[in-house]
């Protein structure tokens, strides 16, 4: 049984006001709270638009981007895992903005669960993300215009990639020769804000 609560004055107060039997053994696990610009942070439209705007300025000023293959190889090296390139990925046409690189690194690191299969789960997660992003070259036209596009004044595209429970919202622009990935967010963190209703 899992019961959620909040620490108030150094004491855990349970959400549903239920009581536990006296002497019951419990295990407390502190939930990690992510803050922007982490891709698992709760969605905040104003912060997302500001972040995307800064990434666009970086792209326009010549901030170096790298290919999908180089991105995945570097992330695998940072996480000390083996990089297995999925088949049939045309990674040269997918360009990863440095900010999206950081998103992918953080998502991959968060998908790693401690234990004997840590490296294997990270490698699997990274391979899946690479495969999903590689598919952008075969079907970018199937994307939709991102909600933030009007705020930014550009044709910002969006596509959902991945498989439950690891589904990602990928934000990118298109040029004649490349798909430029600016942001990769976990879709479960992209919920509607009250102001969106």
**In the CATH hierarchy, which top-level class contains the domain 45-196?**
alpha beta
- Burial of 171 from C-beta contacts in 10 A (0-12 / 13-18 / 19+): buried
Side-chain-facing half-sphere of 71: CA atoms under 13 Å: 31
Domain boundaries, the chain: 45-196
Per residue in 37-90, pLDDT (tens digit) is: 777 777 788 888 888 888 787 776 666 677 777 888 888 888 777 666 655 545
List Cβ neighbours of 160 (8 Å cut-off, separation of 6 or more): 167, 168, 169, 170, 187
Token reading at 80 = 């000390």
Peptide bond preceding 107: is omega within 30 degrees of 0, i.e. cis?
Answer: no
CA-to-CA distance for 32 and 100, rounded, in angstroms? Answer: 21
- For the stretch 79-128, pLDDT in tens is 777 666 655 545 568 888 888 888 888 887 776 655 555 667 777 777 77
Q: What is the pLDDT of residues 126-145, one digit of tens each?
A: 777 887 787 777 765 678 88
């Amino acid at each position: 049984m899992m019961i959620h609560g909040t620490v108030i004055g150094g004491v855990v107060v349970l959400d549903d006001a239920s009581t536990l039997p006296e002497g019951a053994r419990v295990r407390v696990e502190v939930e990690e709270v992510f803050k922007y610009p982490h891709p698992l942070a709760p969605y905040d439209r104003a912060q997302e638009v500001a972040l995307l705007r800064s990434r666009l300025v970086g792209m326009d000023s010549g901030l170096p981007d790298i290919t999908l293959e180089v991105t995945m190889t570097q992330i695998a090296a940072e996480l000390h895992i083996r990089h297995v390139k999925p088949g049939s990925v045309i990674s040269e046409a997918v360009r990863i903005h440095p900010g999206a690189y950081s998103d992918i690194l953080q998502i991959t690191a968060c998908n790693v669960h401690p234990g004997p299969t840590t490296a294997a789960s990270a490698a699997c997660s990274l391979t899946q993300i690479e495969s999903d992003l590689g598919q952008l070259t075969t079907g970018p036209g199937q994307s939709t215009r991102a909600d933030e596009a009007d705020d930014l004044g550009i044709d910002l595209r969006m596509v959902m990639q991945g498989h439950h429970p690891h589904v990602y919202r990928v934000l990118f622009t298109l040029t004649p020769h490349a798909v430029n990935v600016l942001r990769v967010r976990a879709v479960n963190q992209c919920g509607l804000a009250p102001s969106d209703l």
